[in-house]
Amino acid sequence: MPTPKTLPILDISKFDGSPEERAAFLAELGDAARDVGFFYLTGHGVPDALIHDIVAASRQFFALPDAEKLAIEMVNSPHFRGYTRAGLEITRGRADWREQIDFSSEREVLPRTPGTPDWARLQGPNQWPAALPELKPTVLEWQRQLTDLGIRVLEAFALALRQDKDVFAPIYETGAVQHIKLIRYPGRDATGGDQGVGAHKDGGFLTLLLQDVQGGLQVEADDGSWIDAPPIPGTFIVNIGEVLEMASNGYLRATVHRVVTPPAGKDRLSVAFFLGAALDAHIPLLDLDADLAAQALGPTADPLNPLFREIGQNYLKGRLRSHPDVAQRHYADLLDPAAKREPASAY
């Protein structure tokens, strides 16, 4: 198959259209999932006003004085929430040149007992900037609407696999991970390299990415070349995560991607939403029809990133590796030589 030069564009409004439109959309979705694992999504229904608000709020946050941002630095949070300075998140052993703030589902801290799994420490509250109170309601509304959209896409993937549309519901409806990153990539004149974020796969069900105006996202093709994915107004970029790859035995593809640092004098803003299964869930192996099963390649075997079917174990593995400062402060008991500290995707 020749290497694609661009990502496909899919209109999810067809999913709610006539039977013929739905069938055509599911066929397009299946092709995109098999060919590249990434696509642009239009017709999503997220209001333009909310898109404007999340971009504006992100810009306002990154424009705050350093002291205001560092007051909610991620190292203060055992739940890996809060602000990270450029160069402090690690992907494949190298620094990512982006500043960001991470939020996830607002839930109570889980009580710890001798039998409580280590991943249970991941659940807890977010950190919010005192100087920008309007950020919280905007982020929570974004989280709500993107969760609804992500579940629609997930249902479409289920139908494309000829499963019941709610086949994944048992592993997300008890407490889906709703992880948001507001991200700013400074220009190359203000970084230590060209790695905005290193080559990686995402670890959840799927990712919905909003890009502002500056490009930099690249998707790896089968031949090892890179496909540019520039911003297209009114779209999200969707990519498949490792949970769907594992559940479909590799029929759906979690694809390697990266972000290249912007040119000098520019910066890049993006808002990434990662929809994941509940932390206490186990990834099922779907029973695919014979013709689909014959095309399933099995999950990618990466010795640097072994995958587990336990969601919490996979998620904790990635967090510990990506944020060593948080790991040292809050998870020192897990960082002995016998602990599992394999590199993970930049989830």
Distance, in Å, from the CA atom of 292 to the CA atom of 247, rounded to the nearest integer, reads 13
In a domain, residue 318? The reply is: yes
pLDDT computed for residue 268 by the predictor: 96
In a domain, residue 339? The reply is: no
In a domain, residue 176? The reply is: yes
The CATH number of the domain where 329 resides is what?
A: 2.60.120.330
pLDDT computed for residue 248 by the predictor: 95
The list of the chain residues with pLDDT below 70 reads 1-4, 301-305, 336-347
Whole-prediction pTM: 0.93
pLDDT tens, 28-50? 999 998 889 999 999 999 999 99
Closest CA to 277 of 191, 159, 178: 178
Distance, in Å, from the CA atom of 258 to the CA atom of 305, rounded to the nearest integer, reads 16
What is the three-class DSSP state of 240? strand
Q: What range defines the domain where residue 134 resides?
A: 9-334
What is the three-class DSSP state of 318? helix
Question: Counting beta carbons within 10 angstroms of the beta carbon of residue 71, is it exposed (0 to 12), middle (13 to 18) or buried (19 or more)?
Answer: middle
In a domain, residue 250? The reply is: yes
pLDDT computed for residue 193 by the predictor: 81
In a domain, residue 1? The reply is: no
In a domain, residue 342? The reply is: no
pLDDT computed for residue 337 by the predictor: 57
In a domain, residue 341? The reply is: no
Domain count across the chain: 1
